[in-house]
Amino acid sequence: MVIPLRQSLGAPATPVVKVGDEVKVGQPVGEAAGFVSVPVHASISGKVTAVGRFPHPLGGEHQAVVIEGDGEDAWHESVRPREHAESLTPKEIIDIVREAGIVGLGGAAFPTHVKLSPPESKPIDVAILNGAECEPWLTADHRLMLERPAEVMKGFWLIMKALGCDSGFVGIESNKPDAVEAMRAAVPEGSGIQVVMVQVKYPQGAEKQLIDALTRRKVPAGGLPMDVGAVVQNVGTALAVYEACYLGRPLVRRVVTITGTPVENPSNFLPRIGAMVEGLVELAGGLKGEVSK
């Protein structure tokens, strides 16, 4: 696994391991370098074989930790389920989210604990869970809502609790009626959460457009959702919050869609962070025909 220490829009993490160290799943390999930054964790157990600059998905080279797996998949002792996660305080939820290294999994990768900590001058009265895929070919969030609806909804409820708001919307495009049905069935009783079917219209998955569609509030040019009392989180982010608060697991995996006309068997996978895209393409049956990009 090649685990980038730059995994958010904030400052890259600072490495806390060296070559030769033995690590376990969920063990920190990088510490946050400020408030707008997140720690990074080992996604497999094994030995650190390199700490240096490697190609980064966003271009160029950035510092990363390379781990050679031992095949044991042993989890670190600090990773253990938490009893009564539903009784956590807002501050405890935010602290857990920060230590788990959770960032927005809809694409922006903004540190989630920062989004859950708006200034007192910007009170939040509505939370929105984004179940509208941000690009037409992606189906990662769709699969999560079908396969893990209860966990996703519990994570969203924790997000609402951290923000101190009693009203929540789940926005799902109308071409995903099965996801709408699954998520409505998973809404916790008395949670104040509504699952709303929205129009299939690009870019419905962009947070400003989704806020407008669900609440008719318009974020001003150059402004942020918190300027209109709203915070938007992605379906995958909500699952990560659930796993951190209930299972004690940091962010070490995410759903990835491998798709496109050259892909033999377009699929969704749940790989550990640091896995090679090449390996995922092979799992999807490889490529066929001419591939230009």
Write out the two tokens for 103.
């960032």
Residue 211 Cα distances to 49, 177, 206, 229, 270, angstroms: 45, 20, 9, 10, 29
Question: How much is the average pLDDT of 102-117?
Answer: 93
- Of the candidates 110, 118, 116, the residue with the CA atom closest to the CA atom of residue 156: 116
Q: What is the pLDDT of residues 113-148, one digit of tens each?
A: 999 999 999 999 999 999 998 788 999 999 999 999
Judge if pTM exceeds 0.75: yes
pLDDT, tens digit, 9 for 90 and up, residues 155-192: 999 999 999 999 999 999 999 999 999 999 999 998 99
Secondary structure (DSSP) of 257-283: EE-STTBSS-EEE-PBTT--HHHHHHH
Q: What is the CA radius of gyration of the chain?
A: 19
Q: Residues near 170 by Cβ (< 8 Å), separated by ≥ 6?
A: 128, 129, 131, 153, 156, 183, 193, 194, 195, 196
Yes or no: say if 250 and 26 are a contact pair by the CB < 8 Å rule.
Answer: yes
Tokens encoding 208: 């400003």
